[in-house]
Chain A
């Protein structure tokens, strides 16, 4: 962790802390939903420590909870993790991490750490923002996941508390910022609509987990054949709302 020796670095650390705390509450809901999907405490904790990517984790338990096969759950989680590779491309040259730090940096390369890092004005602030956010979210996400799993276990039937509606609401909150204005937003909205239609149409006729993967195939076709290149939107850190773990 770089020393907090200037205003830019201190501001980056403040942002990192607020983003980390915001994801804590989100981790509680993940823990509760993972238990509701049939995982035990150790499995739920393992997902948050090893997979450590909110979207992938929610999708993974969603597919398993719906009775999908392990292969479909792995594929869905993996596809949702592709964007982390792109974040890595963007932050790696800024971090210039070597040795074991490079592996640590890779593990904590997620929406929040990439967003806070790339939003900073100086190199020192960028590095502070990345590490403080990455490590902060990692610690609080893991702790809150365990808390959520314990609470979820104590609650009993998740449907009584509407927890089965919490998961799609979480996914909606994750996709919402990506459907914004401009031409990129239009393409994203059209893709989202096509994905929903394809997934719902296939649900009665294919095994669980496959409809969601088919929707990803739609996006690959749209993205690959797309018109002129569009700039990749840089995630903007919103202190009170995680960009997307």
Chain B
């Protein structure tokens, strides 16, 4: 199977999984999922996945750990978040930082 077809299958399968999860919340008796332990674990899984994605997308290239323009860009994003900047400003500030540093040869 081609990469193109594989991507389509992955999109459809992942979308089905995401919809099934949303629907489960609407259909199951609420005492199933409202256990504090389930809720706490789900919240922490979200935190861990997002944090891991931040790390991997900032400091890796393929299978290597690298430090490049993305790291200072992320620091700028963190600063913007600390200053309560809107989401779009945070993302644009990071992109602009990386773009400028690369233009300067980093």
Contacts and interface: CB of A to CB of B under 8 A. Distances in A.
B104 interface: no
B14 A232 contact: no
Contacts of B6: 70
Nearest to B40: A223
A188 B53 contact: no
Nearest to B15: A50
Contacts of A97: 26
A60 B8 contact: no
Nearest to A77: B14
A178 B58 CA distance: 20
A125 interface: no
Main secondary structure of the interface of A (DSSP, over half): helix
A56 B18 contact: yes
Interface string A65-102: 01100100110111111111111111011000100001
A50 B11 contact: yes
Interface stretch (A115-123, A135-143, A198-206): A198-206
Given A25-B88, A84-B21, A220 B36 contact: no
Contacts of B91: 26, 29, 166, 169-170, 173
A65 B79 CA distance: 27
Contacts of A4: none
Main secondary structure of the interface of B (DSSP, over half): helix
Nearest to B61: A66
Contact of A200 (B47, B60, B99): B60
A1 interface: no
Interface residues of A, number: 105
A194 to B, nearest CB: 7
Contacts of B73: 162, 165, 168-169
Contact of A76 (B12, B40, B49): B49
A164 B6 CA distance: 24
A70 B7 CA distance: 7
Contacts of B38: 86
B48 to A, nearest CB: 3
Contacts of B19: 50, 106-107
B46 interface: yes
A15 B21 CA distance: 26
A77 B28 CA distance: 21
A128 interface: no
Contacts of A58: 53
A32 to B, nearest CB: 10
Contacts of A87: 25
A149 interface: no
- Top 4 A-B pairs, shortest CB-CB distance: A88-B25, A229-B36, A223-B41, A162-B98
14 contacts: A85-B42, A92-B26, A162-B97, A162-B98, A167-B53, A168-B58, A170-B87, A172-B50, A172-B78, A175-B47, A175-B51, A178-B43, A198-B52, A215-B51
Interface of B: 6-15, 17-19, 21-28, 30, 33-34, 36-60, 62-65, 69-70, 73-74, 77-78, 81, 84, 86-88, 90-100, 102
Given A70-B13, A81-B21, A161-B99, 12 more contacts: A80-B45, A86-B25, A86-B39, A86-B42, A87-B25, A88-B24, A88-B26, A102-B26, A168-B70, A172-B50, A200-B56, A226-B41
